[in-house]
Amino acid sequence: MASAPELTVVLPVYNEAGNVVPLLAELGDVLGGLGRTAEVIAVDDGSTDDTFGELSAARATHPWLRIVRLARNYGQTPALAAGIEHARGEVIVTMDADLQNDPRDIPRLLARLAPDVDVVNGWRHPRRDPWLTRRLPSALANRLINLVTGTALHDYGCTLRAMRGHVAKELQLYGELHRFIPALAADVGARMVEIPVHHRPRTIGRSKYGLSRTLRVLLDLLTVKFLSGFATRPIQLFGLFGLCCAAVGAALTAWLGWNKLVLGEKIGGRPLLLLAVLLVIVGIQFVSIGLLGEMMVRTYHESQAKPIYRVREIVEASEPPHSARHVPVQSISSA
């Protein structure tokens, strides 16, 4: 195998037969002027048109092109995950294959990837998509993601970004989590910035996304929030909710008992009694779920020797005693 390149560009591709040839031509011009070794990994996500044929033919003129052909159409997130897994570069750039991302922005992304920056996110500004079906839902989703995750960005849906290889390979991508890559990267300790990038209107083919993705994004947002906030301490989520339910149920039960025993009222047919009993039972169940979650988390970390923290670097004393040296430490993988 040839020596590992310095840069890998990952392209998830699905039914883009008309776009891949001009895109590869643009990438060839840009990569040729970078002054560093590079490869392009095109992940064919089960295309039903001639996308794979176009990519295979392009290998004759673009020797830096590698093709990963998936068995069927899995979606953008698995395609990105496959490309990142097969990438060999120290820096990984991801981008769409529909020609809406501009390859000429890659040098600008790489220039911002300074020693104190691990991820450079693109911000499509101005965006060249339909307002009602693409830009409005995206704007609302970006605001909601900022609120829930605490990672302040303008454009989570922009695929064009540059990441250090070890950060990209730590990301656990599934479902529709490609939209939440900045939040996932922040969760593993990555430092990031955002820069405006060009966005071009689609001229060939049609978009694979629409309003139908909104519900899936919301559900995945709940997953990301849970993974980032409670993955290692589920009892604090389920236990808190369970204790609140049980406390309300116990208070209602005590009040109804007072009415029955002291005031002599009949409570057997009151719906409030059923609600009180239900809240107590639900509360106990949620606390039990939290405890089971804690047991599973402990088993997972201990069985796989997964640490619960990551070290960026260690500063150690050296000779003479008052001097110090920096020992960089690569991020440690964890759940």
* Per-residue model confidence (pLDDT) at position 334: 39
Q: What are phi and psi of 43, to 5 degrees?
A: -100, 105
Helix 271-303 and helix 240-261: axis angle, to 10°?
150
| 3-state SS, residue 7 | strand
Distance separating alpha carbons of residues 79 and 176, to the nearest angstrom: 11
Q: How many helices (H) and strands (E) would you count in the chain?
A: 10, 9
Site of tokens 């069927």: 72
> What pTM does this model have?
0.74
* Per-residue model confidence (pLDDT) at position 331: 43
* Per-residue model confidence (pLDDT) at position 209: 60
Identify whether 320 is preceded by a cis peptide bond (ω within 30 of 0). yes
Distance separating alpha carbons of residues 273 and 249, to the nearest angstrom: 9
Render pLDDT for 265-321 as a digit per residue (tens, 0 to 9): 888 778 898 999 999 999 999 999 988 888 887 776 667 666 656 676 666 655 554
| 3-state SS, residue 245 | helix
* Per-residue model confidence (pLDDT) at position 47: 93
* Strands lying side by side in the sheet with 91-94: 65-69, 38-44, 7-13, 91-94, 161-164, 119-124, 192-197
* Per-residue model confidence (pLDDT) at position 243: 93
Q: Which residues of the chain have pLDDT under 70?
A: 1-2, 205-215, 229, 300-302, 304-310, 312-335
CATH code of 7-230, in short, is: 3.90.550.10
* Per-residue model confidence (pLDDT) at position 314: 65
Distance separating alpha carbons of residues 224 and 287, to the nearest angstrom: 22
* Per-residue model confidence (pLDDT) at position 165: 95
Render pLDDT for 100-139 as a digit per residue (tens, 0 to 9): 999 999 999 999 998 889 999 999 988 887 777 777 777 8
Distance separating alpha carbons of residues 56 and 54, to the nearest angstrom: 5
* Per-residue model confidence (pLDDT) at position 43: 95
The enclosing H or E element of 289 equals: helix 271-303
* Per-residue model confidence (pLDDT) at position 335: 35
Sequence spans of domains, the chain: 7-230, 235-303
Q: Retrieve residue 60's tokens.
A: 């004759």
